[in-house]
């Protein structure tokens, strides 16, 4: 479980991956709708 921070709005959200390969994974922000790379925006491992 990872804690991510959206680069546009700054809100934090949790992300759980089924695989441990995160190089090309993207997530859509649930608050503003922007899609961003997971590896660049990890705050901490929960």
pLDDT tens for the 46 residues of the chain, in order: 999 999 999 999 999 988 888 889 999 999 999 999 999 999 999 8
What is the pLDDT, as a whole number, of residue 18?
86
What is the pLDDT, as a whole number, of residue 17?
85
pTM of the predicted model as reported, rounded to 2 decimal places: 0.82
DSSP per-residue string spanning 1-46: -EEEE-TTT--EEEE--SSS--SS-EEE-TTT--EEESTTSEEEE-
């Amino acid at each position: 479980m990872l804690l991510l921070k959206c680069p546009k709005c700054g809100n934090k959200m949790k992300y759980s991956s089924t695989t441990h390969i995160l190089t090309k994974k993207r997530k859509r922000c649930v608050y503003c709708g922007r899609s961003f790379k997971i590896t660049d925006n990890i705050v901490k491992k929960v």
